[in-house]
Amino acid sequence: MRIRIDEIPRKGLSVEFTDDEELLAQALAATSLPPGVQIDPRLTGRFTIARRKGELFFEAAIDAAMRLQCSRCLTEFRQPERVDIDLVVRQRTSPEQDMNAEFVDSEAEAFFIDGDVIDPGEIILQELLLNVPMKPLCKEDCPGLCPTCGRPKGSPQCTCSEERRVDPRWAALERLKEKITP
Ligand SMILES: [Zn+2]
Ligand SMILES: [Zn+2]
């Protein structure tokens, strides 16, 4: 979705959407995602572009989702994401001016655009990608891969018995225990 700055009404622009696939489409096509990361293009929520004191503000509250690969068991899983955005949108001018702008208003985070077109999808996608965890986990206590068969531990595909999963470092101790026990 592309919005020309000079087409934004003085009172601002507010858009609500449900399961919308258009919003992210262009941004997704133009962005190479990190490996193992997929973004669900369906977005639900709202965004507002407001004009205040000669500045453009982009605010959004959006429910999104991504598909990630678990860093322990390599299983793909869906992770819902709530994105709340509150940014000043500024046109990129010269590098010095950008520096000054950030210096003047250091409290508000700025999103810089080239030219005079805002793509809300681009802002939302960037914010979503900031939420991608360094080490995604399918669940907090994911047991990882079975050292015997290499499949996710505890999954139906792993039929190794608990016994065989005993850490080799403990195996000697186990044998000792067997000897001691009458
Ligand atoms: Zn996992
Ligand atoms: Zn196994």
pLDDT digits (tens, 9 = 90+) for 135-145: 999 999 999 99
Per-residue model confidence (pLDDT) at position 60: 96
Task: Give the span between the Cα atoms of 137 and 68, in whole angstroms.
Answer: 8
Q: Name residues with Cβ closer than 5 Å to ligand 2, which is an ion.
A: 146, 148-149, 158, 160
Separation of CA 173 and ligand 2 centre (Å): 22
Show the tokens assigned to 86: 């509150």
Q: Which residues are paired to 52 by β-bridges?
A: 55
CA separation for the pair 148, 130 (Å, rounded): 36
Residues 89 and 170 reside in one and the same domain: no
- CA dist., res. 46 & res. 17, Å (int): 6
Neighbours of 159 (CB within 10 A): 11
Q: Which ligand is nearest to the CA of 155?
A: 2
Q: Is residue 138 part of a domain?
A: no
Query: What is the C-alpha separation between 164 and 3, in angstroms, rounded?
Result: 60
Q: Which domain holds residue 64?
A: 3-130
- Ligand number nearest CA of 79 is 1
pLDDT tens column, 92-148? 875 665 555 555 555 668 898 888 899 999 999 999 999 999 999 999 999 999 988
Rg (CA), the chain: 25
Contact of 109 with 89, CB cutoff 8 Å:
no
Question: Which ligand neighbours the alpha carbon of 151 most closely?
Answer: 2
What spacing in Å lies between the alpha carbon of 46 and ligand 2's midpoint?
46
Same-domain status, 82 and 160 = no
pTM of the predicted structure, to 2 decimals: 0.76
> Do 181 and 109 reside in the same domain of the chain?
no
**How many angstroms does the Cα of residue 70 sit away from the middle of ligand 1?**
5
Residue 175: which pLDDT band, with cuts at 50, 70 and 90? Answer: low
Is 137 contained in some domain? no
Q: Is residue 175 part of a domain?
A: yes
**Centre of ligand 2 from the C-alpha of residue 159, in Å:** 6
* Ligand lying nearest the CA atom of residue 154: 2
| Per-residue pLDDT band at 153 (split at 50, 70, 90) | confident
- Residues 148, 124, single domain; the answer is no
Please tell me whether residues 162 and 85 are part of one structural domain: no
- 77 and 25 within one domain: yes
Same domain for 31 and 80? yes
Query: Minimum-distance ligand to the CA of 142?
Result: 1
pLDDT value at position 72? 93
Instruction: Report the number of distinct structural domains present in the chain.
Output: 2
CB 128 within 8 A of CB 68: no
